[in-house]
Structures are given as C-alpha cells and as structure tokens.
Structure 1
Amino acid sequence: MTIIQFQPFASLVEPAFWHALTNLKIDVLKLADDHVPLTATYTSGRTIVDRETGKEIALGCNLTLAGDAFSETPHIPPYAVPAHGIVKNYNTIEEFKAADKTALFNEFSDELWKSIQDGSTDKLTRFLLITFADLKKYKYFYWFAFPAFVAKPAWEIDGEWQSASQVLGDKTLVSVRTSIHSNLPPFFLVRTDGSEPKVAPVADFVKFFDGVPAEHRTIAFVDPSAQPSNPGWPLRNLLAFLAHRHPSLVADGVRVLCWRDDKVPHDGHWKSRFGVVKGVANVQGTGEKPSAVGWEKNVQGKLGPRLADLAPMMDPVRLADQAVDLNLKLMRWRILPELDLDKVANTRCLLLGAGTLGCYVARTLMAWGVRTITFVDSARVSFSNPVRQPLFQFEDCLNGGKPKAACAAENLKKIFPGVNATGHSLNIPMPGHPIPPALVEQTRKDVATLEKLFDEHDAVFLLMDSRESRWLPTVLGAAKGKSLTDRTLDQMCTVTRPGLASLASSTAVELLASVLQHPLGVNAPPPPLPTKDAPHADPHASGSVLGLVPHQLRGYLAEFRTVPIRGAAYARCTGCSDAVLAAYEAQGFDVLLRAFNEPKFLETLTGLDQLYSEGEAALESVDWEVEDEEDDM
C-alpha cells in the first residue's frame, strides 16, 4: 500500500480578473471589505509534448480566475467545470498582513464540513481568496486557500494507479464520455453491472449503487492533475464526503476514476487513471470534523501571499488616468457619497486667458477630473511669466516666447496626458477700441471662432485682467446660457499679492463644482440673506452637496476672509441686459462692430446715456442754498 500524494491546486489568475477587481473596488465595494462571491474554473489535467525528447510533460493542476469571475453567469469554457469561492479584499496592506488568516480558513472549512454533513457535494471545490489591491500602482497582493480535509491515517492506493482503459475498457470510457459530454459534472458515479455503463450524480449514491457489487461501483471526478501517480486536489474532499456519508459502502476500498479525457483519443491512448483507494480510519463515520489544510504556497515554495504587478504591462497614460479617478472617488467614498463626479469630468471648460489665473484654474480643474480644457490667449510667454504662471518654464520664454494658449495646453498634457487640452491664439475685440477697415474681416473671423468655442463648451472662465476684454465674452455667455465665472465687469488685475491668483482661481473652480452639483445648475438661487436669527447661511440648505452657490464673492486677503455678495441683475448692464442680448441675437456681428467702433454706442443702446442726462438734469434742478460768507464773519 502506498500513501496517496494529492496534486494541490495552483492558482492561475488572468490579468482581466485584476481589472474586474479594480472596477469592483472602485464602483461597488469602495471602502467595504465584504465577502464577494466569484467563480473559477478548472479542466482535466493537460500535457504537452516536448519537441526534443518526445515525452509528455504534465502541466499544472490549475484553477483559473477569468475577467468575468464576478458575473452571476460567467462563461464556462468547453470541458471545464466551475468552482465557486469568495474573495475578501482589504483596504490597506497593513490590514491584509494583519488579517487572522487562521480564523478565516477555519470559518470557511466549517462551512465546507457542514455541507458534507448535509449531504451536498456543491462545496467540495470551494476556495477562499484574500486580496489587497494597490490601485494606484496596479499591484495586487493575494493568497488562495483550497480547503481539503486531512485523513488520519492517510488514504492509500491499493497497488498503483493504472490506465483507466486497461481496467474499465475502452467501451466503458467511451460510454462515460458520451454521457457527460453535454454537462460535465465535477463528481459523478459509474456503474458497470449491465450491458451499458451508467452515470449518475454522487448525491444518488445509495439508490444508484443499491444491489450493485463492489467491483462494478466506481467513483469518478474531473481530475485537474496530469501526473500519472498523483490525483488532483478535488479527490481529497470527495473521499472525505464518502467516508462520512457512506462508511459501510467504502469500507473495503473505493474504486476511483480520475477523469482526464476531454475527447475520445484517436490513437486509443486514454489519459484517465484508475485506482482502488483505502483508508480504514476514514470510514468510521464519527461525524467529527477532520483538520483541514489548503493555503497555497508562493513561488518560493513557502506559505505566503503572491504579488501580481500589472504596471509593467500597462499603458502609463491609462495608469495615470485610473490614479486620477481613484483620488476623486476616494474623496466621494469618504466625504460626499452623493457627489456626481461624472458631471464634473464631462464638463467642457473654456479658459479665456492663459496667464496667472488661467494656469491655476487649469491645474485645479484637472485635479477635479475635468478632461476637456481649452485656452484662448493672444500673448506669448515672457520672462516674467514662469514664476507666477505654473504651466510655463524658462525655455518657453526664449526666442520671443511661445504662444501662451498653445504652450499652456501642451504643458498641461505633459502633466497629465489624459486631458484633452487645446490652445487658440485669438484676439478678443473690445468695446471702444475701433477696428481698422483692413482688419474687419479678420475680426469677424475671430468673433466667429469665439462664438463656436462658446457653443462647444459648457463653462467659461473669464480670466483676463481688464473689463473691456471681458465685455464680448460676457455678452456671448449670457446669450448662450453658459456658466460664467469672473463675470463682473469690474476692473481686476492679478499683479498684486502673489498668493491672490491661486486663491481666487481655486475659489472659482470650487464655485463651478458647486454649480454643477446643484439641481438647477446655472439657475441656482443665491444664498439667503442673513437674518437676526440666522446671521450665517446654512450651506446644507443650498441644494448642492458641496454647499453654498454664491453668485458673487469678494475676498479680502489682508483679513483672510471671503464674503458672498447678493445682488440683482441691472436692467441697463452693457454686458447682459435684455437690450444688449436682443440686439446681438438680431444683428450678430454688426452690432458688435458698432460697439467696438462707437465709444457711446453701448450707453445709448442700454439707456445709460439717458439715465446720465436725467441725473444731470436732476442735479441742476436743485436749488442749492449757499450761505453768505459775510454772515459767518
């Protein structure tokens, strides 16, 4: 008698599985560490022929996890059987290392033993997988366990393992192959007491073998091992099941068929093996749970986890894209579960001005996950720019300087290749700045380009440093219903305290994010006015998960404070009043050209000139009393 050496399972994890685990972690599990069911597969043992020696070489006893392992209906390849398990993913490598693996294994094997007591064979090939996914580096630490019960004394083989065709005959094997072809079971019974062999599930053991002589009763299983003398791991739990459920029927030995033939061989060389297995102490049926083993060894042959590093085989751009998304999703998981990150990412942003404000706004937008950023600027990079404008370097200033818009877009993509950044060198005409006749057509083209850019984007940042340059974008934004920041026509300039630009830019981007998260978007109402009972606005009552959505902000850097301002639209505004918008929509470029060429045109169009005249007339009609200086003597 020879003690049986069982060939353990070896995990074979396809890269697609790790991508599926990544998506599961990001979109479903988030910070949870719940047990998640999954399905693997294994096939009968495979061999290959060495071209030099002509000898057959046994491949591993593999259990494979594919990309659809988490699916409720995973694809089962031909001639494969499913094996069900669970995965427990930890959030940190420290948690993974500190996990009580013994307790996990014992809990899992308890469930397996209970299923055996209940007479079920469904869990005989169950497996456990623990993981830690470092999603930023695409490194996955994992450890498989394939619980199997230990026999004391060990199972032995009576004689040696033989070719199944020599013992059972080709006719029996062909009949078995035909019976299981359409629905390959992991375990099954074979009886050979009639003219034709019959096959049945293991659950029908008593009824199927009732009255059948021992020499015609065979227990079969799909054997993932290809070793001639080492049956695969599933046989261990099958024998434990038989010993506990049917001790009297297996007391004299179990005839075992290790099924390894996917198809009937043309040369008559069947790979399936046959043997009679015995184990006296295992058939006593005491009901006590045997000890179990089954943690997989690592590549060094020691009990320990393995590492799958996908980073070397992945596109670095995709790695960066995933890492950026992960940072934002971590923020949502931990702070704001209601945050709609897709709405932010899909917002196309037009930045008018690629200077100090434009550079900082672009960087903050990219940090929020915005993927489409377009710059418009007519200037070139100068030597004073790089120290204040983080998208430029000294080399960009040489030879007259690169065009700022294109250079900013190029450098933004160097920081993160996943961003769709473009730049346009474009002059924005200003009211009160006449257009020479020779440049009218070029100005018409520039305005048409700007109008097209407004149509193609969802949010527009007015990041120029003069109120005249912001006039035309204000008109276009109001006419096209775009979300605008820095919409005021007040005189502003970033050449002040160096920290002001970054603070103002970050505030502008955060304001855009708040607008996007509000159900009414650009039509979100301003914060309520303070009252005696509520001197401060409740940020949770704004309707945006990010808090208040102020229409105007004023910052006081010297006092380190920001004040939301509530104001009403001005009916005579030269940028967004009804009169200006109606004229633009009716006359298009012609009305714009008049605004550029005629200094008083906008005042006349909006009625500001009349308001001014009325004010002057009112002042003149007042009878001012002037005291006589002599009366004061």
Structure 2
Amino acid sequence: MAAVSNEFHHPVESGSSKLQFAPFSSALNVGFWHELTQKKLNEYRLDETPKVIKGYYYNGDPSGFPARLTLEFSAFDMNASIPARCCPAFGTLYNTNTFETFKSCDKKSLLEKEANEDLKKYHFYYWFCYPALCFPDGIHVIQKPVCLDDRFSLNQVQALQKAYDELCQTEGVTALPYFLIKYHDNSVAVSPLKKWDGFFQDQEGKVTVGVYDPCNLSHYPGWPLRNFLILASHKWLAESSVDLNLKLMCWRLVPTLDLEKIVSAKCLLLGAGTLGCSVARTLMGWGVRKITFVDNARISYSNPVRQPLYEFEDCLSGGKPKALAAAERLQKIFPGVNSEGYNMSIPMPGHPVNFSEVTMAQAQKDVATLEELIDAHDVVFLLMDTRESRWLPAVIAASKRKLVINAALGFDTFVVMRHGLKKPKQQESGNACFNSAPGPSDLLGSSLFSNIPGYKLGCYFCNDVVAPGDSTRDRTLDQQCTVSRPGLAMIAGALAVELMVSVLQHPEGGYAVASSSDDRMNEPPTSLGLVPHQWTQG
C-alpha cells in the first residue's frame, strides 16, 4: 500500500516551498457510457434534473499512472459495492439534451450527452469538475516528502497494512480516505478521524494522519489531501489557536487549572439580551464549546449598540429572533462552538396564560422544552429582564441539581450569585429554592456570609416574602426596561462567568463552601481564588 506521511507542525519558516497537488484524471469505463445510454433512453428521456452518481479512486496503480477517478456501469447504483481497497467518491450528473445547452453551461455542467437522430450512434461531450479547497497563500512544505519505506521499518509497514485492512473491515468500507495513526517500534494503531479526541490522549506533540492517496508521483500528493489539510486547519488548528491563551495560563500562572472541566461545560443562557451577549462572549473566551440561548424577543434598533452579538442588518424586516441570531453569530465568530437558539417564552407567575387551547398547548410545550434544555445542560444562567421570568427555571434547575448562575442589573447596581445546590438524595422540604436558609448552628463561629456550605446557600428568591408578580404592569417604559449604565452588563456578565469557572475548579463543585472577604488571608480554595456566594455593587 502506498501512502503519504504528513505531520502537522507550527508555522512554516520563510523561504519554504509551497506544496503542489496532482489533479484527478477522469477514467470512464465503457460500461458507464452503456449504462448512461440505457438510463437516457428508458428513464431520463428529456429530464435534465441532476442525478447522484458514484465513482471511486484507487491507491495501488503502477508508478507513472495519473490519479484516476473512475466511473463504471455501477455509477448509477448507490447500493452497488466498491472494488476492494478503493475509496468511494460521490458526485452529481448533469445530463443535458442538446449540445448548445451543454456549451451554455460555461463549464458548470459535469456531464452532457447528445444523441444523433440515428439512435444507434452517439457522441458524448463532458466536463469533469473535482471540488478542491485552497489556502489563499498556498500550503508550505517544511520537510520534503519521503517514501513510506524511508520513514517506517518493514515491520511497521506490515503492521500498518494489517491495521488498515482491519479498520476498513470494522467500519464496513472498502477503503478509508483518511485515518489516524499511532506507531511505536514494531506496532502501529489506526483509527477513524471521528475518534480524534480520544485517540491521541496518551501522546503529546505531533500527530500523524494517513491519507489514502490516488497519486503515484513522488513529490505531489493527490487532491484529497488538499481538502483534508484545509479541514484540519479550519477545525483542529484553529481550535488550538483559540485555546492558546488558556494553555499559556496553565504553563506558569495557574498550572493546576483544569481546563477540561470548563471546556466541557454545557451552558444554557436564558436571555439573549445585553447580559446574554456578554456572558456568551466571555464563555467563548474560557473555551466553552456548548452554548444554548433561549429568548422570545426580536432584535430592535436599540439593541446592537449594547448587545455585541447583533448588527444593524439584524433589525430589519421586524428583526431576527434574538436566540437564533445569537447562536448563528457565535458560529461565525468561531465555527468550533456548538451553539443553538430557541425562540420561545418562559411561563411566569403573575402573567396568566390565556385559557385558549392553542395558548395552553403552547405554554405546556414551552415548559416541557425548558425542562429538557435544563436537563441537557450543566450550568444555567438566568439573564432575563424580569424577576418573575427567573422563577420557573430556578425551580426546575433546583429539582435537577443543576448549577444556576444568576445576574441581575439595576441602574448602577448589580447582583451576581450562584444558587445553592441541594445534596444528592436529599428530600425537599417544600421550599421552591434549593434549600432552606442556614440556621444558627450553621453560622456558629463564622461571619454571616462565610463558611456556609453550598447545599445551604439560598437562591435569588430567598430574600423575598412575596411571590413574584407582573413587574411590567402599570409602569412607564423606563420602569419596564432594565435601564443600566452601559458598562454594567459587561462587568456583571464577566463576573457571572468567572463565578461559574471558580465553582467548576473547586473540588466540591456546586457544593463549595461560600468564601468571603474574611477568607482572603487564608489559602484560597481554588487555583483561581475565592468562590463566593455572590458579588454585588451598590
């Protein structure tokens, strides 16, 4: 088996040559033309709609043969088997009825067939188009290509061949275009690309990727490698660069920082306004990859100047739904993030639901969706405009023992707090919040705000003696909105994320004892310092 060994390194030194790729050459078997003729006469007729076809390329041609993409009689059967050790390649057939139509395609058409008046004689005119992604400045070569025998021993080559054949058999394919490789003195292990994250856990430094190459030229790999290198740069190398700041923190400043706990956290943001946008951007800065928005509002003209995930164009035609637009913008900022948006309402006490079948059914659906979302995430951020909209998510999250981070704004005041997290298997005592407030025995020998265990911490509603009502009823516009100093949301949003990160770094997680200013003289409980119950201003 011929192969090309490609290893990823850091940026290329100046003066290095650019990597060139050998293009595919079309290889059409006579059986393909016969099958196309039968399809045209008996099935397609005058139909010019695109058709899916299947070809393959091979890695074992003799030296000097071009990289061939082959189509044969089975090209029209998606269930037909591929010859052994050949990689499938799917494409689209555009079959036009006249030569003039073919010429007018301006090379965008991939295949054309025109029959003479005499149906026993045919002429075929065609273009083949192979998709190839390109770097704007090309791909630079750090090390000259070498033969497989020059890099691996005979035992390693044999082990690679055996491991590759077994992998193809396990995956149920005739050949894998791309695969991962780990090798030692006399052993070689291979794996599909989809297992990238776990395959190299026990290995630091360079990683090796195998490419099933259809080209036999010694210094020019085939086009499939080009597309893979673009993918690697776009996904894995970009992710490495995005996380560079975090990794540098671990080098010297915070060597005990557990980044995996942060990156793997699934965060649900209830509210995609000023607070939601600030929290989302800070979460991305910490490397969080799963961020979900819930909001029922649309982007208005007053939003983009205060909410950094939106632009003026998002306000046109009535405005895009905030949750959907925010999720889309995160993907544009960094494609490696998994972001979703849900345009939905959260039922609120003090805001009665109309007793129509449609409205009641929608409210029940919203509650069920909210419960599913909370269940599927690790951390819930309460970032809404009103107090009453936070009540139901707080209760649901409490029942599911999810970490809740709450941020609320005033004009020049804010509160950022974590809700208490009840002990596993602890029976609820009828309280809507996580647990009852601490009693005298809990506070004995401590200040009022320190040494309270995480399962005794209250929630956003613990200091209220009345149930939340409709805070927007009979109020002027400035009283209905969250009127705040412009920089306050950024401060509160950043602190909300920093509080989450500190909690995740604590050995006890959400059950961490609340730190206070009194604890600053002692050893901090985490590598990032204190883990308070709340931060407030004003």
TM-score, normalising length: structure 1 = 0.39
Which is greater in Rg? 1
